[in-house]
Structure 1
Amino acid sequence: MKEKLAKTRAKGRFGWDDPDDCSIETLSQMLKDHVSKGDPVDVANLAMMIHQRGGSIT
């Protein structure tokens, strides 16, 4: 999970922890989209982000 997050950060993705940059609703939609792609690491990382922000899947 950490390796995948590091690779994504290197590509310029950031801000999941900033409500002004990324809402819980956005993270929730991203999680739903990644479930259909079949990568459990992406799903786990997105679920962790939502959890750490105190949110739930909308």
Structure 2
Amino acid sequence: MAGTGGALVLLNPRVTASAVEADKAAKRYEECLSFFDVRGLVPRPLRITSKSPRSTAPR
């Protein structure tokens, strides 16, 4: 669906693989939504592969 201009909807995606190298510019602090003032630096891989169940909802 990449490049088609449509929305990409992933329902409960599971990351099956990720790149070893991380985007150093994207390593930022992220906060926990459940606990106030809990945060940490989170690296983001440059690429991931994921699996997601297919939606049966009408388009």
TM-score, normalisation: structure 1:
0.18
Structure with more strand by fraction:
2
Q: Is the radius of gyration larger for structure 1 or structure 2? A: 2
More helix by share: 1
